[in-house]
Amino acid sequence: MRAASPSALLCNALAGKGGRFAESPVVPPRRSTLVALMRWILLFLATIVLLILPAASAAGAAENSESGFVVVKKAAGDGGVNGPPVVTVVVHGFVMGRITQEARVEIYHLQTASGRGAPQVAGPDVSQSSVRWRSFTGKAYNGSGFRFRAIGGFYRVVVRGAGVYLFAGGHGAVWLRGSSHYPNADGFYSLGGRPFRSLPAPELKRSIGGG
């Protein structure tokens, strides 16, 4: 036999035994009736709260899990390939970019459970060497006119030089630094689809997808 819902129990309590309450416009002033009615009301409200809270929690979790993204274009920093980074990205997700002038790109594939997402680089004028950051070994790519990508993992990507275009998405953080000597010609960035802005100087850190 199917158990009655809290709302049905509340209706039964309001109707009274044998329909007498429905037939009479006056509520019998008995303490036991009021106590029973209050108990059913509290039970009904508690049931509603239990139904609402999981839905609210799920909505909040879905909002927090949304990925963010950052776009950098025509970026140029001070000091060329030996200067401070123009952009540094640490992200669970992906990083893609291209170099139109001369730059140095360091890619570190950080530890992941799946071990997926080996970085890829292509171009006619690019050299490769090994680099280290903390306990991680990565690859450094120097040259011009090449493309790079790292997809489906946890990465740290550091770019120095000029003519830098980059698109990254997922969850993490980005550090941006333009030129202090040429602030009006150091490139642009956009976070989460907002309008492009000139690269900052000094360095600016922003989260990607909640970090």
The structure's pTM equals 0.68
Residues 168 and 176: their CA atoms lie apart, in Å, by: 13
* C-alpha dist (Å) from residue 141 to 8, 167, 175, 195: 70, 17, 19, 30
Q: What is the pLDDT of residues 191-207, one digit of tens each?
A: 999 999 999 989 999 99
Mean predicted lDDT score pLDDT of the chain? 79
Q: What's residue 54's pLDDT?
A: 46
| Domain stops at, among 64, 84, 100 | 64
162 and 114 part of one domain: yes
51 and 72 part of one domain: no
Residue 174 maps to a domain = yes
Considering only residues 4 and 182, tell me which one the structure prediction assigns the higher pLDDT. Answer: 182
38 and 83 part of one domain: no
Q: What is the pLDDT of residues 43-91, one digit of tens each?
A: 655 554 444 444 444 444 434 457 899 999 999 999 999 999 999 999 9
pLDDT (average), residues 138-156 = 95
Residue 13 maps to a domain = yes
Residues 139 and 141: their CA atoms lie apart, in Å, by: 7
Task: Pull the structure tokens for residue 76.
Answer: 């140029």
85 and 180 part of one domain: yes
Q: How many domains does the chain have?
A: 2
Q: What's residue 25's pLDDT?
A: 46
96 and 49 part of one domain: no
pLDDT tops 60 at residue 115: no
pLDDT band at 18 (very low <50, low <70, confident <90, very high): very low
| Domain stops at, among 64, 82, 101 | 64
177 and 165 part of one domain: yes
180 and 98 part of one domain: yes
Residue 82 maps to a domain = yes
Residue 1 maps to a domain = no
* C-alpha dist (Å) from residue 36 to 18, 47, 71, 110, 129: 16, 17, 63, 62, 79
- Are the C-beta atoms of 178 and 200 separated by less than 8 Å? yes
Q: What's residue 24's pLDDT?
A: 44
Q: What's residue 210's pLDDT?
A: 78
Alpha-carbon torsion (183, 84, 99, 93), positive or negative: negative
Task: Pull the structure tokens for residue 124.
Answer: 């006619």
91 and 151 part of one domain: yes
pLDDT (average), residues 4-16 = 46
73 and 60 part of one domain: no
* Residue ranges making up the domain that contains 35: 6-64
Q: What's residue 192's pLDDT?
A: 93
Residue 93 maps to a domain = yes
107 and 31 part of one domain: no
Q: What's residue 118's pLDDT?
A: 78
Helices and strands (DSSP H and E) totals, the chain: 3, 10
118 and 51 part of one domain: no
**End-to-end Cα spacing for the chain:** 51
Residue 29 maps to a domain = yes
47 and 143 part of one domain: no
What are φ and ψ of residue 44, in 5° steps? -65, -45
Residue 177 maps to a domain = yes
Q: What's residue 29's pLDDT?
A: 54
